[in-house]
Amino acid sequence: PDSEVREQVTPPRPPPYSETAGQSPGDTEHVTSLANASLRRSLRLLEQVRRQDRNALCAEIDKLQATQPTAAETPPQMQQLKLRRCPVEPPLKYDGRKEGFTTFKAQCELYMHLCQNDFPDEKTKVGFLINQLTGTVARWATAKRIAQDPILNYTTAFLDALEKFLGMASCKEMAICEIKRLMAGNRLCYILYNQIPTLNE
Protein backbone atom coordinates (compact mmCIF):
# COMPACT_ATOMS: atom_id res chain seq x y z
CA PRO A 1 0.00 0.00 0.00
CA ASP A 2 2.77 2.45 0.81
CA SER A 3 4.37 1.88 -2.55
CA GLU A 4 1.13 2.55 -4.31
CA VAL A 5 0.79 5.82 -2.42
CA ARG A 6 4.32 6.88 -3.37
CA GLU A 7 3.67 6.20 -6.99
CA GLN A 8 0.57 8.30 -6.87
CA VAL A 9 2.21 11.34 -5.22
CA THR A 10 5.40 11.30 -7.32
CA PRO A 11 5.20 14.35 -9.72
CA PRO A 12 5.39 13.50 -13.38
CA ARG A 13 8.71 14.07 -15.16
CA PRO A 14 8.85 16.79 -17.87
CA PRO A 15 8.72 15.42 -21.37
CA PRO A 16 11.93 15.38 -23.34
CA TYR A 17 12.76 18.49 -25.45
CA SER A 18 11.23 18.47 -28.92
CA GLU A 19 10.81 20.98 -31.81
CA THR A 20 7.14 21.32 -30.98
CA ALA A 21 7.96 22.52 -27.50
CA GLY A 22 10.50 25.17 -28.58
CA GLN A 23 14.24 25.51 -29.20
CA SER A 24 17.06 25.99 -26.82
CA PRO A 25 19.26 29.14 -27.01
CA GLY A 26 22.10 27.18 -28.55
CA ASP A 27 19.92 25.90 -31.33
CA THR A 28 18.66 29.44 -32.07
CA GLU A 29 22.18 30.76 -32.46
CA HIS A 30 23.01 27.90 -34.80
CA VAL A 31 20.00 28.62 -37.01
CA THR A 32 20.84 32.34 -37.09
CA SER A 33 24.41 31.57 -38.08
CA LEU A 34 23.21 29.33 -40.90
CA ALA A 35 20.82 32.03 -42.12
CA ASN A 36 23.56 34.68 -42.11
CA ALA A 37 25.90 32.37 -43.98
CA SER A 38 23.21 31.67 -46.57
CA LEU A 39 22.54 35.40 -46.95
CA ARG A 40 26.21 36.18 -47.43
CA ARG A 41 26.49 33.42 -50.00
CA SER A 42 23.48 34.78 -51.87
CA LEU A 43 24.96 38.29 -51.85
CA ARG A 44 28.24 36.98 -53.22
CA LEU A 45 26.42 35.14 -56.00
CA LEU A 46 24.39 38.24 -56.82
CA GLU A 47 27.51 40.40 -57.01
CA GLN A 48 29.19 37.81 -59.20
CA VAL A 49 26.23 37.77 -61.59
CA ARG A 50 26.17 41.57 -61.73
CA ARG A 51 29.90 41.65 -62.47
CA GLN A 52 29.50 39.09 -65.25
CA ASP A 53 26.61 41.03 -66.77
CA ARG A 54 28.63 44.25 -66.65
CA ASN A 55 31.62 42.61 -68.30
CA ALA A 56 29.40 41.08 -70.98
CA LEU A 57 27.82 44.48 -71.67
CA CYS A 58 31.21 46.16 -71.98
CA ALA A 59 32.39 43.42 -74.32
CA GLU A 60 29.29 43.86 -76.49
CA ILE A 61 29.83 47.63 -76.68
CA ASP A 62 33.46 47.12 -77.68
CA LYS A 63 32.37 44.66 -80.34
CA LEU A 64 29.83 47.10 -81.79
CA GLN A 65 32.36 49.92 -81.85
CA ALA A 66 34.88 47.69 -83.59
CA THR A 67 32.40 46.72 -86.32
CA GLN A 68 31.27 50.29 -87.05
CA PRO A 69 33.07 51.92 -90.01
CA THR A 70 35.48 54.58 -88.97
CA ALA A 71 35.07 58.06 -90.40
CA ALA A 72 37.14 58.51 -93.51
CA GLU A 73 39.93 60.98 -93.18
CA THR A 74 39.53 64.17 -95.16
CA PRO A 75 41.85 64.14 -98.18
CA PRO A 76 44.53 66.86 -98.19
CA GLN A 77 42.91 68.43 -101.25
CA MET A 78 39.62 68.81 -99.40
CA GLN A 79 41.40 70.25 -96.36
CA GLN A 80 43.07 72.86 -98.54
CA LEU A 81 39.74 73.62 -100.20
CA LYS A 82 38.07 74.19 -96.84
CA LEU A 83 40.84 76.44 -95.60
CA ARG A 84 41.14 78.40 -98.85
CA ARG A 85 39.14 81.60 -99.19
CA CYS A 86 38.46 83.28 -102.51
CA PRO A 87 40.09 86.74 -102.57
CA VAL A 88 37.03 88.35 -104.20
CA GLU A 89 33.32 88.27 -103.51
CA PRO A 90 31.00 86.66 -106.05
CA PRO A 91 29.31 89.10 -108.44
CA LEU A 92 25.86 90.45 -107.72
CA LYS A 93 22.79 88.88 -109.23
CA TYR A 94 22.15 89.90 -112.81
CA ASP A 95 18.58 90.89 -113.70
CA GLY A 96 18.94 91.07 -117.48
CA ARG A 97 19.60 94.76 -118.03
CA LYS A 98 21.64 95.18 -121.20
CA GLU A 99 23.86 97.91 -119.79
CA GLY A 100 24.97 95.65 -116.96
CA PHE A 101 25.74 92.51 -118.95
CA THR A 102 29.34 93.34 -119.87
CA THR A 103 30.19 94.12 -116.24
CA PHE A 104 28.43 90.99 -115.00
CA LYS A 105 30.24 88.81 -117.53
CA ALA A 106 33.65 90.27 -116.64
CA GLN A 107 33.05 89.87 -112.90
CA CYS A 108 31.98 86.25 -113.31
CA GLU A 109 35.00 85.42 -115.44
CA LEU A 110 37.31 87.06 -112.89
CA TYR A 111 35.70 85.23 -109.98
CA MET A 112 35.90 81.84 -111.69
CA HIS A 113 39.53 82.49 -112.64
CA LEU A 114 40.55 83.38 -109.07
CA CYS A 115 38.61 80.44 -107.62
CA GLN A 116 39.60 77.79 -110.13
CA ASN A 117 39.45 74.95 -107.59
CA ASP A 118 35.74 75.61 -107.14
CA PHE A 119 35.06 75.25 -110.86
CA PRO A 120 36.68 72.02 -112.09
CA ASP A 121 34.65 71.79 -115.33
CA GLU A 122 32.47 73.75 -117.73
CA LYS A 123 29.18 72.48 -116.32
CA THR A 124 30.10 73.78 -112.88
CA LYS A 125 30.87 77.20 -114.34
CA VAL A 126 27.56 77.32 -116.20
CA GLY A 127 25.77 76.30 -113.03
CA PHE A 128 27.41 79.18 -111.19
CA LEU A 129 26.38 81.62 -113.92
CA ILE A 130 22.77 80.41 -113.76
CA ASN A 131 22.78 80.79 -109.99
CA GLN A 132 23.77 84.45 -110.40
CA LEU A 133 20.78 85.21 -112.65
CA THR A 134 17.44 86.58 -111.53
CA GLY A 135 14.21 87.73 -113.09
CA THR A 136 13.61 87.13 -116.78
CA VAL A 137 17.09 85.78 -117.51
CA ALA A 138 16.77 83.31 -114.63
CA ARG A 139 13.54 81.97 -116.12
CA TRP A 140 15.23 81.72 -119.51
CA ALA A 141 18.12 79.74 -118.03
CA THR A 142 15.72 77.48 -116.12
CA ALA A 143 13.94 76.63 -119.36
CA LYS A 144 17.30 75.73 -120.90
CA ARG A 145 18.04 73.41 -118.00
CA ILE A 146 14.67 71.71 -118.24
CA ALA A 147 15.23 71.18 -121.95
CA GLN A 148 18.79 69.95 -121.29
CA ASP A 149 20.11 72.34 -123.89
CA PRO A 150 23.69 71.52 -125.02
CA ILE A 151 24.74 75.13 -124.38
CA LEU A 152 24.80 74.24 -120.67
CA ASN A 153 27.95 72.21 -121.28
CA TYR A 154 30.08 75.18 -122.31
CA THR A 155 30.50 78.58 -120.69
CA THR A 156 31.14 80.43 -123.95
CA ALA A 157 28.10 78.91 -125.65
CA PHE A 158 25.91 79.77 -122.68
CA LEU A 159 27.06 83.41 -122.58
CA ASP A 160 26.63 83.76 -126.34
CA ALA A 161 23.09 82.40 -126.10
CA LEU A 162 22.37 84.78 -123.23
CA GLU A 163 23.62 87.70 -125.34
CA LYS A 164 21.30 86.72 -128.16
CA PHE A 165 18.39 86.38 -125.74
CA LEU A 166 19.06 89.92 -124.53
CA GLY A 167 19.16 91.15 -128.13
CA MET A 168 22.72 92.32 -127.81
CA ALA A 169 25.16 92.38 -130.70
CA SER A 170 28.49 90.64 -130.35
CA CYS A 171 31.59 92.63 -129.43
CA LYS A 172 32.80 92.47 -133.02
CA GLU A 173 29.51 93.78 -134.37
CA MET A 174 29.42 96.58 -131.81
CA ALA A 175 32.99 97.57 -132.69
CA ILE A 176 32.17 97.68 -136.40
CA CYS A 177 29.10 99.82 -135.80
CA GLU A 178 31.05 102.23 -133.63
CA ILE A 179 33.86 102.59 -136.18
CA LYS A 180 31.40 103.12 -139.02
CA ARG A 181 29.70 105.79 -136.98
CA LEU A 182 32.99 107.57 -136.48
CA MET A 183 33.98 107.12 -140.12
CA ALA A 184 31.20 109.38 -141.23
CA GLY A 185 33.04 112.41 -139.87
CA ASN A 186 36.63 111.26 -139.66
CA ARG A 187 38.76 110.21 -142.62
CA LEU A 188 41.41 108.64 -140.32
CA CYS A 189 38.91 106.19 -138.89
CA TYR A 190 38.02 105.06 -142.40
CA ILE A 191 41.71 104.38 -143.14
CA LEU A 192 42.15 102.44 -139.89
CA TYR A 193 39.03 100.44 -140.55
CA ASN A 194 40.34 99.28 -143.91
CA GLN A 195 43.65 98.28 -142.32
CA ILE A 196 42.03 95.92 -139.79
CA PRO A 197 41.36 92.67 -141.66
CA THR A 198 39.57 90.95 -138.80
CA LEU A 199 36.85 93.59 -138.79
CA ASN A 200 36.36 93.41 -142.54
CA GLU A 201 35.91 89.64 -142.62
Q: What is the pLDDT of residues 45-103, one digit of tens each?
A: 888 888 888 888 888 887 777 776 554 555 555 444 444 566 778 899 999 998 899 99
Q: Are residues 133 and 198 in the same domain?
A: no
In a domain, 121, yes or no: yes
Q: Are residues 139 and 185 in the same domain?
A: no
Mean pLDDT of 97-116: 91
Total-model pTM: 0.45
Question: In a 3-state reduction of DSSP, which class is residue 94?
Answer: strand
Q: Are residues 160 and 173 in the same domain?
A: no
Q: Are residues 109 and 128 in the same domain?
A: yes
In a domain, 127, yes or no: yes
Sign of CA dihedral 100, 103, 108, 109: positive
Q: Are residues 173 and 151 in the same domain?
A: no
Mean pLDDT of 179-192: 61
149: left (phi > 0), else alpha (psi -120 to 50), else beta? Answer: beta
In a domain, 46, yes or no: no
Domain assignment of residue 98, given as a range: 90-168
User: How high is the pLDDT of residue 174?
Assistant: 60
User: How high is the pLDDT of residue 154?
Assistant: 95
In a domain, 126, yes or no: yes
Q: Is 105 exposed, middle or buried (0-12, 13-18, 19+ CB in 10 A)?
A: middle
User: How high is the pLDDT of residue 135?
Assistant: 93
In a domain, 12, yes or no: no
pLDDT tops 70 at residue 36: yes
In a domain, 162, yes or no: yes
Q: Are residues 117 and 182 in the same domain?
A: no
Count the neighbouring beta carbons within 10 Å of the beta carbon of residue 104.
22
Q: Are residues 175 and 161 in the same domain?
A: no
In a domain, 65, yes or no: no
Q: Are residues 96 and 147 in the same domain?
A: yes
Q: Are residues 102 and 164 in the same domain?
A: yes
In a domain, 179, yes or no: yes
Q: Are residues 161 and 95 in the same domain?
A: yes
Q: Is 137 exposed, middle or buried (0-12, 13-18, 19+ CB in 10 A)?
A: buried
Number of folded domains in the chain? 2
Q: Are residues 94 and 154 in the same domain?
A: yes
